[in-house]
Structure 1
Amino acid sequence: MRVVNQAEQSDGHGEPAIREIAGHRVWPIALGGAALSLRPDLSRTAAVSTINAAIDSGVNLIDTARAYTTVDEEAHNERLIGDVLTARQDGSTVMVATKGGHFRAGPAEWKNDARPAALRADLESSLRALKRETVDLYFLHWPDPDVPFTESVGALSEMRSEGKIRAIGISNVDPALLALARTVTSVDAVENPYSALGGGDDTLLRECERQGIPFLAYSPLRGWTASDASPRLLDLAAHRSVSPQQLLLACLLHRSDTLLPISGAGRPETAVDSASSARLSLSPDELRIIDAVAGGRREPAVEETAAPDAAASPQP
C-alpha cells in the first residue's frame, strides 16, 4: 500500500495520510455499512443521512456485503448504498467494497457458499443492487470449508479478467491462506478483524506490510463501550477536545501505514466523528497511554481467524 503523507499542523490536527487501494486514493477511515441493515432500530432516513455525512466528511470507501441485509430483503445494504451514491452527483468518486460467498439464511444464521458459480451469482446481484457495471473491490467473504480455497479465489480472478471486478480482496484469512491466494492471482486487499483493544493477527498485518497489501480492519472498536472508558483515556480525550473513539481509531492508524479501519456508524454524528480521527496526530506519549489503556496488542486465538462453521458463521 502506498501512503501519501501530508503535513501536520502544530495543534495535532492535520491532513491525513491518504491510503491507496489498487491505485484508488482513499480516506484512511472507511465506513462500514453492516449496522445500517443489521440493526432493526435504524430507519432508512437515518441510514441515508449517515452515509451522506460520512462522504461529506471525506470518506470515500464504503464497505458492504451480500450478507449485510435484513431478514426479508435481499441485498438491503448494497441497495441502500447504491441508491445513495446514485443520488449524489459525486457518488462515482466513492470506492465501494463488497463481498460474496457468504449470506444471511435466517434471523441469526449465516452460511457460506463460495463455489465459483455461487460467487458469480453473488457478484451479479451486487452489481444490480449497487447500480454499477464494475465492483471496485470484491472480497471472498469467508473461506468455505466445502470448497477448495484456490477455486474460490480463481473465480474472482476470472471475473476480474472479464472487467466485472477492478480489485480482489480476501477476508477472514490467515497468512497461509493469503500466500495460497497469491499463487492464484494478485491480491489487492485483506479484510480481517483488528481492534484498538487487543489487536488482531499481527503476523498477517506484518505480511501485508511486506507485500504492500492494504489491511482493512473491521470491528476496530470491538470490546469497547463508553461505560468502560478508563479515566486516563477520558482525560486525554478531554485534553485533546476529541472523543475517546477518535483516539482509539487514530491509534490504529499510527500502528501501521497498511492498516485502514472500517468504522461502523448508526448516526451521522458518529460517522463524522470517526472520519475526523484520520486528522488526529498522536505523540509517542499519547500512543503509550492509549496502548496501555487498550491492554496492548495480542495475537488472536486460531478460532478467531479460521473459517467458521457454515451454519453459524458471523456476518463480518
Structure 2
Amino acid sequence: MTAPTTFRIGGDLEVRRLGFGAMHLRPETAEDRAACVAVARRAVELGVTLIDTAHMYGWGGNEDLLAEALHPYPEGLVLATKVGIRRTTSGEGWRHAGEPADLRAQVDEALLRLRLDRVELLQLHRLDPGVPVPDQLGALRDLRDEGKIGRIGLSEVTTAELAEARAVVDIASVQNRYNLLDREHEPVLQACQDAGIAFLPWRPSAAGQSGARSSAIAQVAKELDATPTQVALAWLLAHSPVIVPIPGTSSVAHLEENLGADAVHLTQDQYERLTR
C-alpha cells in the first residue's frame, strides 16, 4: 500500500503528511536549549513542512524557541499554533480562555513570539465551556478576515462540537488523541475524512510503546525490517488520507526514526492484521 505523502490543509495549504510536534522541546538549561534547537533544525533539514506548537507548551517558551531556531523561516514551512488556554497558579495549572478579547490578545502574542504577520493554521486548544461556541469561533473568523490567521482548526472535540463549529466558520483541521492502539475518536476522524478536514493525531505512536503493547505490531515491524514506531505511523498514513501525524520528540535519533515511517509500505494483509 502506497499512501499519499502530502495533504492540502484547508484545500490549499500543502504540507508533508509526516509533521513534527514540538511539544517536547521545553529546555531547562542552556545545554538543553541547544539540543532542542538542533532537533527543530534537523526536522526542517529532513523535509518537515508542518510544525505544531502551542502557547501552552512552555507558556510561550516553545514558540520562542522555534522562532530562535528557524527564523527567518524557509519557504513552505508552516508553524501551526494553538490558543484558548491561560496559565494559572492553582488546580491543573491552566484554565480555559475563550473570551473573544482574550483570544484576540493570545493571537497577537503568538504572532510576536513566532515573528510572524500571519499564522497559517491557528487551532483552538480547547473549546471554552463557559463561552458560546459562536463567540469563540466568530472571534477567530474575524481574525482570519483581518489576515492574522490563514486557517482555523480545533483540538480535542467531539463530532457534535465539530459540527457546531463548522456552522460558524470553515474548519481546516482537528487535533485529537489517536493512534493504532487508541481509536476512541474514530467517529471524529470519519467526520473529518467525509469533509476533507485534516486530522492531526497527537500521541500518534502511543508514546513509542506500540511494539511492547502489541505482538502484531512487533511482528509486522520484523517483517518489514522497521521499528514498531515506524509501523504504527505507517498504519496511520494508510488508514486515512486526511491523517497528518505530528509525532514529537526531543531526540534527533527518534526524530529520524519517526520521519522514516513514510518509507515503510504496508501490504494489504499487514494493514488488515494491524487494523484487527
Question: Which residue in 2 is equivalent to 1:105?
Answer: 88
User: Does residue 288 of structure 1 match 2:236?
Assistant: no
Identity, % of aligned pairs?
31
Question: Which residue in 2 is equivalent to 1:298?
Answer: none
User: Does residue 186 of structure 1 match 2:170?
Assistant: yes
Structure 2 matches for 1:71-86, cutoff 5 A? Answer: 74-86=59-71
Q: Structure 1: 5+ residue runs without aligned partners?
A: 1-11, 293-316
Q: Secondary structure at the match of 2:265?
A: coil
Normalising to structure 1: TM-score of the pair?
0.80
User: Does residue 21 of structure 1 match 2:9?
Assistant: yes
Structure 2 matches for 1:88-167, cutoff 5 A? Answer: 90=74, 92-106=75-89, 109-167=93-151
Question: Which structure carries more relative contact order (alpha carbon 8 Å, separation 6+)?
Answer: 1
Question: Which residue in 1 is equivalent to 2:237?
Answer: 253
Per-residue deviation, 1:180 = 1.1
Per-residue deviation, 1:238 = 3.2
Tell me the distance in 2 between the aligned counterparts of 1:60 and 1:200.
28
Per-residue deviation, 1:193 = 1.1
Tell me the distance in 2 between the aligned counterparts of 1:87 and 1:136.
16
Per-residue deviation, 1:125 = 0.6
Q: Structure 2: 5+ residue runs without aligned partners?
A: none
CA contact (8 A) 1:191 1:215 kept: yes
Tell me the distance in 1 between the aligned counterparts of 2:51 and 2:153.
14
Per-residue deviation, 1:237 = 2.0
Tell me the distance in 1 between the aligned counterparts of 2:67 and 2:107.
14
Which structure shows the higher strand fraction?
1
Normalising to structure 2: TM-score of the pair?
0.91
Of the candidates 24, 45, 49, which is equivalent to residue 38 of structure 2? 49
CA contact (8 A) 1:173 1:192 kept: yes
Of the candidates 192, 200, 205, which is equivalent to residue 221 of structure 1? 205
Question: Which residue in 2 is equivalent to 1:301?
Answer: none
Corresponding residue pairs, total: 273
User: Does residue 62 of structure 1 match 2:62?
Assistant: no
Tell me the distance in 1 between the aligned counterparts of 2:189 and 2:33.
35
Tell me the distance in 1 between the aligned counterparts of 2:267 and 2:211.
25
Per-residue deviation, 1:18 = 1.1
Q: Secondary structure at the match of 2:183?
A: strand
Post-superposition CA distance 1:81-114 (Å, at most 9, x none) = 11222156x2x42101101011333495221111
Distance change (3 Å), C-alpha of 1:233 and 1:206: closer
Aligned-residue Cα RMSD (Å) equals: 2.2
Question: Which residue in 1 is equivalent to 2:185?
Answer: 201
